[in-house]
Amino acid sequence: MGKTDLPQIITIAIFVISYILIFSGRLERSVAALIGLFMMVSAGYAFDFMNFEEALLHVNWEVVILLFGMMTYVGLMEKTGFFRYIGIKAIKLSKGNPWLIFLYLSLITTFVSMVIDNVTTILLMIPLTVEIAEMLEINPIPVMLGEAVLSNIGGVGTMIGDPPNIMIGLVSGYTFNDFVVHLFPPVMVALIVSTILAGVIYRKWRRVEAKNIDKLMKLDPSRYIRNKRKMKYYLYLLFAMIFFFASQSYTGISPSFVALAGGVMALVISTEGPKEAFKAVEWPTLVFFIALFALVGGLDEVGLLSGLANGIASISSNVLLISILILWVAGISSAFVDNIPITAAFIPVVSSLMVDYNSGLLWWALAMGVGLGGNITPIGSSAGVITMSLSKRYGHGITNREWLKFGTVTGIASMAVCTAFLLIMV
């Protein structure tokens, strides 16, 4: 179709209005995205640059299906009490030592976030953290911050740990193993650096003596398990899913199909009716993804994204410099805007840049930027927003100053670590 300046101006205006609605908080983000989609498709019909069928072609249905499958699985696994069980086990191992509680719960959240969406992990861990901290009469804020910040770091380490990675993986064609090989090492270094910083920042809190340790040691983790038999089956299923994710390059089986199969098998194991089982699925999030893909598709149809890619490419012919630029621009953007829409906007740009550079460094830079930049502010990631909200609900509100002291420092340090790794990856 022919493209003129007017459609480009209109699509930019719609895109900006939509993002303002999404991030203003006045409307639920899925509703705001749907309003943006309605405006974009209406403009597409009016100015002949995109119809509804073409808008749907921009939706990455593999991402939607993968998220649906994982949400179904995690929701059913949570009902068995597995997450509270491992949390209590870890806390008992700490014997009431605040620093060990920080390490054990934060690291559990980190590594669980590598295979399960970190938002779900945070929703499960924060209530347990507050409950135990109140029992021991210690301040739970450092632990909650550790769980939120380190879960964001952990989510970058695998293809399925974070929605942006899922989006990048399914568009770029990189496998589960590719993500582990290229992103797990920088994530581990960023994790170590962040833990050291936490030890320094919370050095006074670490010396606080916990109370009621006898009460803690009497807790029986097994009583938190609601269905041991189902829990075992779900764990076997998780191992099978990870195996098929990791063997994609040999089997050729799509990660989306693996996740969908896992969700279906979890439904069979649960013996619950679909209506009850699907309550765990975050339907507004799936709608948000669909609307967002189509919304960004409008920019692509009028040539704006390819123009942006050409503009970035004109800055330098050095792929390392371009990659570092993507890392920090995506990272700083993700500090103030949720990383899912930032990723959705950047993916077509990086895809265009790949035509000239043909280097995976661009994709890894984007993944690290959007994943780690969200730690710089409390509104930069879904896990951060939920942690701030839950902390207030449970009477231990995390202030912006407290986030700045730990989250911002570790966010910038992690970005610096990733910059160093880009130098190594070239």
Mean pLDDT, consecutive 10-residue segments, the chain of 426 residues? 71 89 79 92 93 90 87 86 86 90 92 81 85 91 94 91 88 92 95 95 91 86 88 94 90 91 92 78 84 86 79 83 93 82 86 86 95 87 82 88 93 96 88
CA of residue 209 relative to chain centroid, distance: 34
3-state secondary structure the chain: CCCCHHHHHHHHHHHHHHHHHHHHCCCCHHHHHHHHHHHHHHHHHHHCCCCHHHHHHCCCHHHHHHHHHHHHHHHHHHCCCHHHHHHHHHHHHHCCCHHHHHHHHHHHHHHHCCCCCHHHHHHHHHHHHHHHHHHHCCCCHHHHHHHHHHHHHHHCCCCCCCHHHHHHHHHHCCCHHHHHHHHHHHHHHHHHHHHHHHHHHCHHHHCCCCCCHHHHHCCCHHHHCCCHHHHHHHHHHHHHHHHHHHCHHHHCCCHHHHHHHHHHHHHHHHCCCHHHHHHHCCHHHHHHHHHHHHHHHHHHHCCHHHHHHHHHHCCCCCHHHHHHHHHHHHHHHHHHCCHHHHHHHHHHHHHHHHHHHCCCHHHHHHHHHHHHHHHHCCCCCHHHHHHHHHHHHCCCCCCHHHHHHHHHHHHHHHHHHHHHHHHHHC
What DSSP character marks residue 157?
T
**Domain tally, the chain:** 1
Most distant CA pair in the chain, distance = 74
CA 196 to mean position of chain CA atoms = 23
* pLDDT score for 283: 87
| Residue position matching structure tokens 């995205």 | 33
Residue 59 confidence (pLDDT): 87
CA-CA distances (angstroms) from residue 153 to 17, 128, 179, 192, 290? Answer: 31, 21, 14, 11, 26
Which pair of tokens denotes residue 426?
């070239």
Determine the structural domain holding residue 292 and report its residue range: 5-425
Alpha carbon distance 406, 388 (integer Å): 14
Task: In whole angstroms, give the CA distance from residue 198 to residue 200.
Answer: 5
The separation between CA 36 and the C-alpha centre of its own chain, rounded to angstroms, equals 23
Q: What is the pLDDT of residue 405?
A: 93
- How confident is the model at residue 289, as a pLDDT? 82
Sign of CA dihedral 167, 173, 179, 183: negative
User: 296 with 58: CB under 8 angstroms?
Assistant: yes
